[in-house]
Structure 1
Amino acid sequence: MCICINCKHADICKTYKFIEKQHNNYKINRQQNCFIPMNTMIIVSINKKNLNIYLDWDIKECSSFVEQPGKWISLL
């Protein structure tokens, strides 16, 4: 799971915007994305089901992470 869901910067973060695009879940009504986080680690998992291959993108580490529990609710 991406740690961004509980990060204070999620709605303005360029890296989180990138991850959303990979999940085809980009929200157009977001604030202007202007925050560039430091030292992020993106993990890409490759999953295969039948003949289909799926990529799952998640941010596992980020030096700019500032916890804000429940932030994910405002990201829906």
Structure 2
Amino acid sequence: MCICINCRHIHLCKTYEFIKKQHNNNKINKKHNGFIPINTIIVVNINKHDLNIYLDWDLKECSSFIEQPGKWLSLL
């Protein structure tokens, strides 16, 4: 699971926007995303189901992470 959902910077983070795009979540965020986190590690898992291949993108580590549980709920 992506650690972004509990981060204080989720609304402004460019890395989170990138991961959302990789998940084909093209919801337009009206807020300006200008925060660039430092020392991030993105993990991509490759899953195969029948003849289809799916990529699952997750942020596993970020030095800019500041925990604020439930912050993502305000994105809905």
Is the Cα contact below 8 Å between 1:37 and 1:63 reproduced in 2? yes
Q: 1:27, CA displacement in angstroms?
A: 2.6
1:46 aligns with 2:46: yes
Segments of 4+ moved more than 3 angstroms: none
1:11 aligns with 2:19: no
Gaps of 5+ in 1: none
Give CA deviations for 1:12-71 in whole Å, capped at 9, x if unaligned.
000000000001113313310100000000000000000000000000000000011111
One-letter identity of the residue aligned with 1:6: N
Identity fraction in percent: 74
**RMSD after superposition:** 0.9
In structure 2, how many angstroms separate the alpha carbons of the residues matched to 1:29 and 1:4? Answer: 15
In structure 1, how many angstroms separate the alpha carbons of the residues matched to 2:50 and 2:37? Answer: 37
In structure 2, how many angstroms separate the alpha carbons of the residues matched to 1:23 and 1:37? Answer: 20
In structure 2, how many angstroms separate the alpha carbons of the residues matched to 1:74 and 1:63? Answer: 23
1:55 aligns with 2:63: no
SS in 2 for 1:17: helix
Is the Cα contact below 8 Å between 1:5 and 1:72 reproduced in 2? yes
In structure 2, how many angstroms separate the alpha carbons of the residues matched to 1:7 and 1:30? Answer: 18
TM-score (ref. length: structure 1): 0.95
